[in-house]
Amino acid sequence: MTFQDPRMFLWALPIGGLIVLMYLMRMRRRDLKVSATFLWPERQDEIRANHFFQKLKFNRLLVLQLLALALILGGLARWQVRQTGLTGGTTVVVIDASASMGATDVQPSRFDEAKRRLTSLVSGMQGADRLAVIEAGPIPRVIAPLSNDPTRIQAALTGLARTDAEADVGEALRLATALVGQAEGAKIVLLSDGVFDPIENFTAGKSELLYEQIGKEGKNIAVTAMGTSDDSKGRQLFVGVKNTGGTELPATITISADKRAIFSVQTSLKPGASWGRTVRVPAGVEWLTGEVRARDQLQADNSMTIPANPGKSMRVLLISRGNIFLERALALDSRVTLDRSATVPEGEKRGASEGSSKYDLVVFDGITEVPVKARSVLTFGAAGSPTPVTKTGRLSKPTFLDANAHPILAGVDFGSVYIESGEKVEPRGSGQVIAESNEGPLVVVSEGAQRQVYVAFNPVDSDFPLSIGFPIFLANVLEFLGGTEAASTLAVRTGQVLAVPAASESPLPVTMPDGRVEEIPATAGRYVIRAFSKPGLYKWGSGDSQKFVQANLRSERESATTPVATVEVSGSQVAANQRLDRFADLWKPLALLVLAILALEWWVYARRS
């Protein structure tokens, strides 16, 4: 509690002293002559000396009057108490809806606890408060626009839904800034466990970012890796399990083929410890499953299922500082399982470690190409030592001249593309120029042991991403570098978006893991499927065109469920507040209490009289 104007209590000395003085004083009585004092024997208590002052004695009226004075001065001093609620003005609440928010260290889950706190904030809204709610999922959503109507906001909260996927918290915060970043004194409140990557390219503007931590501890074991490979004896499967929490846990690990167990073991994993095993895959199976049973706090990552024959899918690693056009174009291709990183992981660099790459394709987006283990490489505007070109200068607004009849360029027209700048290069080694400008090559390919495609400019330095040829070009590159038509069985990450060709304008019925059917409308000749929010098997179509897609939570970041007390936002550390507090004035209840005390004083006085 606090007082906004504690100087008001200085009035307690003169006013309180005056009240006490009045109880010390006695009025001088008049002398009256009576015929006999024995006529008044019951009044012997009033024979005290008639002095001006008397000894102070306990008096209920005095206590009540001093208490009333204290309460009145407390009200004038603006006595305030700390309580949970909005701090006035404009507030945007961003609620984390990622997989880690399903942890049960807070019952029934962290997400439910965040919703409870959010509901409490809405219930405590006052007349001057304006509130908006954003759900931070794989694609952020505005659940409730800015409003000062708590009833309307409470109704909108029914649309909040947690996913078993990674959340784009940074994009959700940038969306919040777009709403209130220019409002003086506005606040952006993040309800999260802090289990997300450091946020870059964010500024709060004139608003203030507050982080309220949800969760107490991390206690989790996850299936973190599954993959197949072939050798002279047939196909083999590798399964990796990791204790991502801070407590040693016993676990039972089972590997199944088409739901029949082919291996099982009981073990105990210490914090941070990993377990791995390679087993032979029986012939003729379609699905392989790794499962861990343990008393942990997150169920979404306790199982992983992949196709036994994954040859028709591609794992792609995008090395980029951020390119939304390229990310979306790659992620929408149903052949692609996309990972993103700002740098090449050490395990993927050629010569840095033993073993093969877990990626089919590495894409360098404006970052200098380095030697990698992957069997294919696509480079945009940043040639390196392994690139089949030699840099000779810079391109400046080049004009397209000619293109070969290469499969990569089928349906792609560079003649209508404006290019601001790029690299001037010459082909070397096995490099073949397939598109050329007046200042030098635009696209160079190499079909050696490692297939490579080099584009002399970065997409963000052109209007290429805005043209219809951009997704066609990427699809052709994937085809050239090893992809084929999408398989009938496919494994994707939860939260991934797939685009499949639409044979008609009719909606596509997609059956969810829980048996529900969701109708996906056709858009520009494609069905864009965003339904993979939970692990499990999704299916659509019939006969030869039937597709089965298994969604898995493959994210060590989400599996590491230990709450984070301080999050990194644009290089700054934002410490967690345990609760969002405001100070509320107590003058109204104090005024009512003073009236009650005065009424009690009157009652006591009346009884004594």
The mean-pLDDT minimum among 3-7, 168-172, 396-400, 443-447 falls in: 3-7
pLDDT at 484: 45
Statement: residue 257 has pLDDT above 50: yes
pLDDT at 509: 93
CA-CA distance, 138 to 532, in Å (whole number)? 10
By DSSP bridging, strand 376-380 and strand 389-396 are: unpaired
CA-CA distance, 336 to 238, in Å (whole number)? 21
Question: What is the 8-class DSSP label of residue 502?
Answer: -
Bridge partners (DSSP) of residue 528 are: 499
Statement: residue 498 has pLDDT above 80: no
pLDDT at 469: 83
The residue whose two tokens read 């499927």 is 529
More confident call, 27 vs 299: 299
Bridge partners (DSSP) of residue 240 are: 225, 276
By DSSP bridging, strand 90-96 and strand 130-136 are: parallel
CA-CA distance, 363 to 367, in Å (whole number)? 9
- What is the helix (H) or strand (E) element at residue 385, kind and residue range? none
| Cα–Cα distance list, 380 to 69, 318, 453, 504 (Å) | 77, 11, 9, 35
pLDDT, mean over the chain: 84
Exposure class string for 553-577: b at 16+ Cβ within 10 A, else e: bbbeebbbbbbbeebebeeeebebe
- Tokens representing 252 are 């039972």
pLDDT at 486: 47
pLDDT at 77: 66
- Tokens representing 98 are 């990622």
pLDDT at 586: 57
- Tokens representing 421 are 């700048």
Q: What φ, ψ does residue 110 adopt, rounded to 5°? A: -60, -40
CA quadruple 391, 392, 394, 398: dihedral, nearest 10? -100
The residue whose two tokens read 């740098």 is 343
Statement: residue 485 has pLDDT above 50: no
Q: Residues 448-478: pLDDT tens digits?
A: 778 899 999 999 999 999 887 888 888 888 8
The amino acid sitting at 575 is A
Choose the most confident range, by mean pLDDT, from 244-253, 565-574, 576-585. 244-253
Question: What is the 8-class DSSP label of residue 521?
Answer: P
CA-CA distance, 576 to 211, in Å (whole number)? 5
More confident call, 331 vs 71: 331
By DSSP bridging, strand 566-569 and strand 547-552 are: unpaired
Band (362; pLDDT cuts 50, 70, 90): very high
CA distance between the termini of the chain = 40
Question: What is the 8-class DSSP label of residue 257?
Answer: E
Statement: residue 222 has pLDDT above 70: yes
Statement: residue 44 has pLDDT above 50: no
CA-CA distance, 574 to 209, in Å (whole number)? 8
CA-CA distance, 160 to 114, in Å (whole number)? 11
Residue 221 neighbours by CB under 8 Å, 6+ apart? 241, 242, 243, 244, 245, 249, 251, 269, 292, 294, 296, 302
Percent of all residues in the chain with a pLDDT value above 90, rounded to a whole number: 45
Question: What is the 8-class DSSP label of residue 361?
Answer: E
Statement: residue 589 has pLDDT above 50: yes
Q: Residues 388-417: pLDDT tens digits?
A: 999 999 999 999 988 888 888 887 888 889
More confident call, 482 vs 417: 417
Band (200; pLDDT cuts 50, 70, 90): confident
- Give me the mean pLDDT over the 262-285 stretch: 93
**Cis peptide, bond prior to residue 250, ω within 30 of zero:** no
More confident call, 309 vs 555: 555
Statement: residue 45 has pLDDT above 60: no
CA-CA distance, 111 to 97, in Å (whole number)? 7
Entry field: residues in the chain: 609
CA-CA distance, 491 to 288, in Å (whole number)? 11
Dihedral sign (CA 455, 460, 462, 465):
positive
Band (104; pLDDT cuts 50, 70, 90): very high
CA-CA distance, 555 to 269, in Å (whole number)? 19
Statement: residue 121 has pLDDT above 50: yes
